[in-house]
């Protein structure tokens, strides 16, 4: 994985922005810019809001909200996995103890 930083052009709302990122992250940056562009366009098409700044802020809030929901979901899944792992370890513990005793 390369850590070399390069200027990468992304286009959002017809404007090109140069963003520094590692070579390994260029594809992810391009996908992020395309995702953002789609979200902005969707909001523009579904609202009568003309002010670009307002559209950008609302889009940023929507995307951030989605991210936070996903993070909460990941935390919930991790907690459930940890609980299941603990349950499995408790269930296996008597068998492990028997194996250790018979090995003596």
Greater model confidence, 62 or 104:
62
- CB 6, CB 18: distance < 8 Å: no
Same domain flag for 41 and 54: no
Same domain flag for 20 and 65: no
Same domain flag for 59 and 104: yes
Q: Which residues contact 2 (CB under 8 A, 6 or more apart)?
A: 22, 23, 24
Band of residue 104 on the pLDDT scale cut at 50, 70, 90: low
Q: Which residues contact 7 (CB under 8 A, 6 or more apart)?
A: 18, 19, 20
Backbone φ and ψ for 4, nearest 5 degrees, come out as -65, 130
Greater model confidence, 5 or 102:
5
Domain of residue 85: give its range: 50-104
Give the number of C-alpha atoms closer than 13 A to the C-alpha of residue 49, restricted to the C-beta side.
16
Band of residue 101 on the pLDDT scale cut at 50, 70, 90: low
Same domain flag for 6 and 36: yes
Same domain flag for 9 and 36: yes
pLDDT in tens, 43-99: 888 877 678 889 999 999 999 999 999 999 999 999 999 999 999 888 887 776 666
């Amino acid at each position: 994985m390369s850590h070399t930083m390069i200027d990468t052009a992304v286009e959002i709302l017809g404007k090109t922005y140069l963003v520094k990122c590692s070579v390994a992250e260029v594809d992810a940056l391009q996908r992020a810019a395309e995702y953002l562009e789609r979200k902005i366009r969707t909001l523009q098409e579904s609202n009568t809001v003309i002010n670009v700044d307002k559209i950008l802020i609302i889009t940023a809030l929507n995307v951030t909200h989605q991210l936070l929901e996903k993070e909460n979901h990941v935390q919930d899944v991790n907690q459930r996995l940890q609980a299941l792992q603990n349950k499995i370890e408790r269930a296996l513990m008597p068998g492990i103890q028997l194996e250790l005793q018979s090995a003596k």
